Structure 1
Amino acid sequence: MESTVQAVTVVIPCYNDGAFIMDALNSILRQTVLPERIIIIDDGSGAETMSVLKSIKNNIVEVVYQTNQGVCTARNNGIGKATSSYILTLDADDIFEPTFIEKAKHILDSDMKVGVVCCHYKEFGNSSKNKDIIKPKGKITQDFLVKNNGVASALFRKKCWEEVNGYDVNFDKGYEDWDFWLSVLSQGWEMRIIQEPLFNYRKKIHSRDTMALAQFDKELKMKIFLKHKKVYESSIDVFAQQMILRNTMLVTNLNKTKEGLEFQLGKIILKPIRIIKRLLFPSNE
């Protein structure tokens, strides 16, 4: 049973993110509705990050240290320590805008069909800020068949985590949040998206996400498909439609890119010919 007052616990896994962890933590401490508790799980960080974590002095912040076991185990250990009804996940290098908890909590308080609340977000980092707003759709299981339509950092009911036995540690190479959302939504829950960019995702040149996409994308997608095969089988028509649409979009974009490259190549080849023509026949210009 959920308590009468739906409190929030924030769980922040941290692995060698000493340079960013205070930004993440302060983004929670600046929330218009504060959480009951913030649990930072240090996943075997080095001395520099350990020094930063040991300097944190706040009554609602608890730092837990573990040997390096990966983000799934870190999140599970943090959530397991929480006594609140709601869990907010946040990576140690990302940032929430001040009103996220207030707005997300209101949705969970108001609609028992909703198990998870995410939001639109922006990317930043690498010495530049991306002004584009990324808009995941959320909703139900069928919206997660060909891509992750949620965000790893989200507010959700602890009972959702309990129902699916937490994050699957077999997704140690990535896409664990996509797998987690599919597991949760397949239990009948819905994901609601706040139509505002209340989250900021730090883009790094070298990160677990970029490595997952570059090196393990096919392997991880097959693992998701095989684990959730019954979900895909029960939604085979929708899955086929989405794959056809996705393939058409990829072919269209590829053709546009090819045409653009051919046009640019043509300009490069013709440029010296035009220069020579101007030199030889200036009166024709």
Structure 2
Amino acid sequence: MNSGSNVTVVIPCFNDGEYIMEAVNSVLNQTLKPEKIIIVDDGSDTHTKHILGGINDDSVEVVYQDNSGVCKARNVAIDLAKTDYILTLDADDYFEPTFIEKAVAILSQDSHVGIVGCFYRRLVSGKIQNEVVKPLGGGVSNFLVKNNGLGCSLFRKKCWEEVSGYDENMRKGYEDWDFWISILKNGWQMHIKEEPLFLYRKSKSSRDENAFLNHDVELRDYLFKKHRQVFMDNFEAFASQIIYSNSKLKQTQLKIKNSIDYRLGNLILRPFRLVKHIFKSQK
């Protein structure tokens, strides 16, 4: 492509044949083109392999591996990259056309910034939601209680090298959160471009949702133990964020309990609960 952008785009792909071309085209249509797009097929089905085999563009390279997870796929592609900047993109998401141009400008101008993300919108059932999600970014103290970044972001390859890549043990999720903490604790900053330049596709089988519902405690415990010193060094910020999060959770629970739907539901269920109580007492 020879665009002079100094960017390689890395796209892990697992059974995403339905969406992969939309992701690739969003990169090919950037106002500042990447030098290379490396797609790592992570043991996909026949349909997806057929789609990938039909890509006819000299700037796109497809690498095949047995199913080993997104971290392995990203590490393989980044290791092959010959540029200073890496942009990760999931195969079912896509960027608006100006993201690379704007993100590269930020990295070029500020040597303290290691990562550039942006605001984003969700894509649900094919419809772009009006709500703009606004990650905070910043330094490592902003990442102690939640992932305040965007998984699909532009970063310096040397940041990846400093932390020995993505942690391939994190196959159940939260690998982006861990990766950002690993980089930011070395003194780098994450800059968030305050424009919705990314579309995140929310699917029924979302990997992020599965991680939260089924592995949240396990993964948070792993993060804490791995980065224990970071949490200790930033204990006051960590405690303040925990207190704030707990307060917001209680406020949300109170709003739900006071809502008309909740009270109406209790009213409808009251006779059934009475019958259940009587039945138990007669046993």
- TM-score, structure 1 length as denominator? 0.90
CA offsets per residue over residues 75-122 of structure 1, 9 Å max, x none? 000000001000000000001000000000000000000000000000
Structure 1 counterpart of 2:171, one-letter code: D
Instruction: Look up the match of 2:141.
Output: 142
Gap runs ≥5 in structure 1: 270-285
Structure 2 counterpart of 1:187, one-letter code: N
Q: Distance in 1 between matches of 2:217 and 2:38?
A: 33
Structure 2 counterpart of 1:199, one-letter code: F
Q: Does 1:181 align with 2:180?
A: yes
Q: Bigger CA drift: 82-91 or 260-269?
A: 260-269
Q: Does 1:51 align with 2:50?
A: yes
Q: Does 1:158 align with 2:150?
A: no
Deviation at 1:128, TM superposition (A): 3.4
SS at 1:26's partner residue? helix
Structure 2 counterpart of 1:243, one-letter code: I
Q: Distance in 2 between matches of 1:127 and 1:106?
A: 31
Deviation at 1:127, TM superposition (A): 4.1
Structure 2 counterpart of 1:75, one-letter code: R
SS at 1:108's partner residue? helix
SS at 1:116's partner residue? strand
Q: Would you say the 8 A contact 1:6–1:109 is kept in 2?
A: no
SS at 1:137's partner residue? coil
Q: Distance in 2 between matches of 1:13 and 1:262?
A: 42
- TM-score, structure 2 length as denominator? 0.91
Deviation at 1:130, TM superposition (A): 1.5
Deviation at 1:236, TM superposition (A): 0.6
After TM superposition, list the pairs within 5 Å mapping 1:1-285 onto structure 2: 7-261=6-260, 264-265=263-264
User: Closer, same or farther in 2 for the Cα pair 1:265/1:115, shift >3 Å?
Assistant: same
Structure 2 counterpart of 1:217, one-letter code: D
Q: Would you say the 8 A contact 2:5–2:33 is kept in 1?
A: no
Deviation at 1:177, TM superposition (A): 0.2
Number of paired residues?
265
CA offsets per residue over residues 152-178 of structure 1, 9 Å max, x none? 100000000000000001111000000
Instruction: Look up the match of 2:276.
Output: none
SS at 2:259's partner residue? helix
User: Closer, same or farther in 2 for the Cα pair 1:42/1:267, shift >3 Å?
Assistant: closer
Q: Bigger CA drift: 208-217 or 75-84?
A: 208-217
Gap runs ≥5 in structure 2: 269-283
Larger radius of gyration: 1
Deviation at 1:266, TM superposition (A): 8.4
Deviation at 1:207, TM superposition (A): 2.3
Question: Which aligned segments of 4 or more residues in structure 1 are displaced greater than 6 angstroms?
Answer: 266-269
Q: Bigger CA drift: 5-14 or 251-260?
A: 5-14
Q: Would you say the 8 A contact 1:85–1:157 is kept in 2?
A: yes
Q: Would you say the 8 A contact 2:39–2:60 is kept in 1?
A: yes
Structure 1 counterpart of 2:255, one-letter code: K
Q: Would you say the 8 A contact 2:71–2:168 is kept in 1?
A: yes
Q: Distance in 2 between matches of 1:128 and 1:100?
A: 21
SS at 1:216's partner residue? helix
